[in-house]
Amino acid sequence: MYGTDGTGDEEPLFRPYAVTGGRSEPRYHLAMETLISAMSIPDDEMAMLTPEQEAIMQLCRSFRSVAEISALLRVPLGVARVIVADMSDEGLVRLHHPRLSQGQPDLTMLERVLSGLRRL
């Protein structure tokens, strides 16, 4: 979510924490490896989304981790967590929390996150 300032340098198109109302943490725990998928919504509702929400909806047509969303939108992880959690509360995205068996993360999920990070 960066643009150029005319000098070739990139500057934020928005102040990240202004988008979240100053919040740096979501109202509930949202791990960075949590996978996110976009819900189907009508076009008229899509037109009412903020630019950040719209970008997340586009990214999450396929599963993306919160960490990937943060990196691809170039916003701090805390900001991505807050926006995603708010979108989940609004029914815009679905959260796919990692399943831990005996305290260990799911190997398939970790491989998918690693694969996504390599594509960045």
Q: What is the pLDDT of residue 101?
A: 59
Half-sphere exposure of 73 (CA within 13 A, CB side): 31
| Reported pTM | 0.69
Q: How large a percentage of the chain has pLDDT more than 90?
A: 39
| Residue with the larger pLDDT of the pair 98 and 49 | 49
> Residue 78 and residue 17: Cα distance in Å, rounded?
9
Does CATH place domain 19-100 in 1.10.3470?
A: no
pLDDT digits (tens, 9 = 90+) for 56-96: 999 999 999 999 999 999 888 888 999 999 999 999 999 99
